[in-house]
Chain A
Amino acid sequence: MSVAVALVVETVRMSCPYVACALAAVVTERAGVINVALEGALVVSGLATAVGALLSGSALVGLVAGVAAGAALCAGHGVAVVRGRADAIVSSIAWNLIAFALARYVLRVLWGTASSSPRVAGFAAPASPPLATLTSPARLATALAAGAVAWMFARTRFGLRADAAGEAPEAARAQGVDVARVQLVAATVAGALAALGGAHLVLDQHRFEVGMSGGRGFLALAAVLVGRHRVGPTALAAVGLAGLDAAQIALPAAVKLPPELVLAVPYVAALVIVAVAARRQRA
């Protein structure tokens, strides 16, 4: 397989968690609930997917458990911010801490190791490898979710109210919108969206590992800045980030570079992107 093909296939493979988290960030931020705990949502959803799949023997049950766990974590964040009036950043930090610690705790309690779960079967592939990468249920669900989120904001009452709640909560309240409720729902939906990414990681790599989210939940925030909270451009930017990831896997084989250096590339790129996007926004 040529480097170019490998790059494309890997990009598609890696894009799911990025796109899922970017969509999640769009939904929650447009409704006015900042959430930098999407990384934590990736972790707990991955963990719950592994636990669900291993206990039941069904990848589907794992997927459902994962989505529920991600939704629960972000709902908790939503409650703390909307009802408890906690600072969104502080609450995010707390939930990230809880997610990482809980993952290690559960791994040790269930399987006596702090690093990785036993093998998770995943979905049976309906096609052979390169094609199979395109047909995983979590990935399909993410692609559908991108369309659904775009439609929601453009066409539905909930989308309209979420935008109003985020941009002008007082105005929305004056029109009888229950802003707190809208924000809670948006925060929870965001958790479920991010969880698609976490579930995908586990079902794709056939195990849960504590570090496997790899900062994607944070990097996705850069995609949201680039996409200016619009669904399409944000999702595209997220795919671009996945391309950087893919390059990490595909390039060292082709070019002679220290692997640690390649690991740093997405973060340097994201820092530059964040700076450029911020300046553009300010101008």
Chain B
Amino acid sequence: MRIEARGLTKRYGDVVALDDVSAQLTEGRITALLGENGAGKSTLLRLLAGLSAPTSGELVLDGVARARVSPAEARRLGIGVVHQHFSLVPSFDGLKNLMLGDEPVGPLGVLRPGALLARAERVMRDVGLEVDLGLPAEALSVGERQRLEILRVLVRGATTLLFDEPTATQTRAEAARLYAVMRRLADDGATVAVVTHHLDEVSAHADEVVVLRRGARVFAGEARGLTTDELARLALGAAPPPVSRPPPPVDAPVVLALDALGAGRLVDVSLEVRRGEIVGVAGVDGNGQDELVELIAGLAAPARGRLSLDGAPLDGLDVAARRSRGLGVVHGDRHALGIVAGASVHDNLVLGELGGDEAARARQRLVASGASPARLDVPISALSGGNQQKVVLARALGRPLRALVVAHPTRGVDAAAAAALRARLAEVALAGCAVLLVSADLAELRALSHRLVVLCRGRVTAALPPDVDEAELGRAMLGGAAA
């Protein structure tokens, strides 16, 4: 089905999320919706799917103009959304997840899954999707979960598929596999739209592209022939300055050492980070990164192995004791582990270290953080994601550090703040701190790290230089090339 958006505007209170955007999606083509965080691409997708109503503007579906479309109508018209979050019930197996919301039932509301199961298996064969429908969603890998979601949309007869940031937490190889599925669907006549902020995906896989910047459309047209540089200029305006990796340390002593560390998912992880060195940990989300950071931080106890800082063991020390030895940690889940959302910027800057010359420390850290607005008494929830992250990093850096462990420092952060955060990390390493950087953003890892290690299924499976070929890195992350 052909979908046309005409002059869509969406306001949330005083904030204009989308400003007079027109675009069209065509059968048989893959259209990328490209933009930075907060550019309005997910908002556009929600409007196209009828999940929220535009403040003004209209949608033209199959030639009929409508001011608003309900989610049910959109579904009837064959529009299906593959969400980024929140769309599978973790404990439900694949079949239950397929049924939920559109259950095949007999009398008394008794579930009759037979025909649905048959249809699902046929679709899997036709499109080349493979999912084990007997396993609970929580036991599936990220890619499998996504395939389950695609399957659900297809089983319900969708001919227009809208993907919301499907590759945000995927490797290139996984992404390529996903785009192959999309291409097959498009070749069969489906209308496909993909929200993404990965420039290379657009030039490699999309037919058309709509570029958004701060809620406004800055480009719409053929994707073929556009280079990533051109796309970057469109999406970002001026390109952000490249991060300069600090010079590699020479003959520096080992500061942070992990020796055959194991607990839960982690198996025999051995790592060394030297003074002034940035070691990047690459891997697909959910391969033990969170556990690794929690073990080093002292939030969880290792079942096996040893952990030391400057040669002294850290085992048995709690978070506060490790901090006073010079270990700083920034956790990946900012909302749960980084900030206390209901508290002020001040309290968040000195969390865990109340008392003493607290006021002076908080002021000093705020200035060092570069977060704006530079006020201490506002609730941290009033700050943007980037500023919140600057506060979290400033707290970790608030004491003289020997080693810094930082996970996903720029996740959900706008481009300018991300550049500032990366520059700060480089500075910290230059000043002699040992940095362990866990990230799913390969470009970030390659730009900042002196060495990369790959974490796959809880093991360190490869150690690679940062300028390694991206395809090789992707293979290692998927467990293909165990070194």
Contact = CB atoms under 8 A, between A and B. Distances in A.
Given A176-B72, A176-B75, A157 B103 contact: yes
A163 B109 contact: no
A167 to B, nearest CB: 5
Given A167-B90, A170-B86, A158 B101 contact: no
Interface string B83-125: 1011111111000100111110100111100000000000000
Interface in A142-165: 155-158, 160-161, 163-164
A164 B108 contact: no
Contacts of B81: 174
Contacts of A163: 89, 91-92
Interface string A165-191: 001101110111100000000000000
A9 to B, nearest CB: 36
Given A160-B96, A170-B86, A177 B111 contact: no
B14 to A, nearest CB: 24
B326 interface: no
A174 B83 contact: yes
Nearest to A164: B89
A174 B111 contact: no
B96 A175 contact: no
B71 interface: yes
A15 to B, nearest CB: 28
A176 B101 contact: yes
Given A164-B100, A176-B75, A171 B88 contact: yes
Contacts of A155: 110-111
A172 B83 CA distance: 12
Contact of A167 (B83, B87, B89): B89
A168 B75 CA distance: 21
Contacts of B102: 175-176
Contacts of A177: 100-101
Contact of A157 (B86, B87, B111): B111
Given A155-B110, A156-B108, A172 B89 contact: yes
A157 B89 contact: no
Q: Is the interface of B mostly helix, strand, loop or mixed?
A: loop
Given A160-B99, A160-B100, A164-B92, A175 B110 contact: no
Contact of B105 (A157, A167, A170, A172): A157
Contacts of A175: 87, 100-102
B326 to A, nearest CB: 32
A176 B74 CA distance: 12
Contacts of B100: 160-161, 164, 171-172, 175, 177
A171 B83 CA distance: 10
A95 to B, nearest CB: 28
Interface in B445-473: none
A174 B109 CA distance: 21
B108 A172 contact: no
Given A168-B86, A171-B88, A176 B71 contact: yes
B74 to A, nearest CB: 11
Nearest to B105: A157
A161 B97 CA distance: 10
B88 A168 contact: yes
A262 B83 CA distance: 57
Best-buried of B72, B81, B101, B108 by chain A (most CB within 10 Å): B101
Interface in A107-163: 155-158, 160-161, 163
A160 B110 CA distance: 10
A171 B111 contact: no
A139 to B, nearest CB: 25
Interface in B406-433: none
A174 B100 CA distance: 10
Contacts of B92: 163-164, 167
Interface in B55-97: 71-72, 75, 81, 83, 85-92, 96
A252 to B, nearest CB: 45
A155 B75 CA distance: 26
Contacts of B85: 170
Interface in B206-222: none
Contacts of B72: 176
A27 to B, nearest CB: 15
B110 A156 contact: yes
A158 to B, nearest CB: 6
B109 A158 contact: yes
Contacts of A171: 86-89, 100
A156 B109 contact: yes
A46 B242 CA distance: 73
Nearest to B72: A176
Given A175-B101, A177-B101, A168 B96 contact: no
A160 B103 contact: yes
Nearest to A156: B109
Contacts of B90: 167-168
Interface in A44-59: none
Contact of A160 (B71, B75, B88, B111): B111
B89 A174 contact: no
A177 B88 CA distance: 13
The 7 residue pairs across chains A and B that have the minimum distance between CB atoms: A175-B101, A170-B86, A157-B109, A176-B101, A168-B89, A157-B103, A156-B109
Interface of A: 155-158, 160-161, 163-164, 167-168, 170-172, 174-177
20 contacts: A156-B105, A156-B108, A157-B105, A157-B111, A158-B109, A160-B99, A160-B111, A163-B91, A164-B100, A168-B88, A168-B90, A170-B85, A171-B87, A171-B88, A172-B89, A174-B86, A174-B87, A175-B87, A175-B100, A177-B100
Given A160-B96, A163-B91, A176-B75, 19 more contacts: A155-B110, A155-B111, A156-B105, A156-B110, A156-B111, A167-B89, A167-B90, A167-B92, A168-B86, A168-B88, A168-B89, A170-B85, A170-B86, A172-B89, A174-B86, A175-B87, A176-B71, A176-B101, A177-B101
Interface of B: 71-72, 75, 81, 83, 85-92, 96, 99-103, 105, 108-111
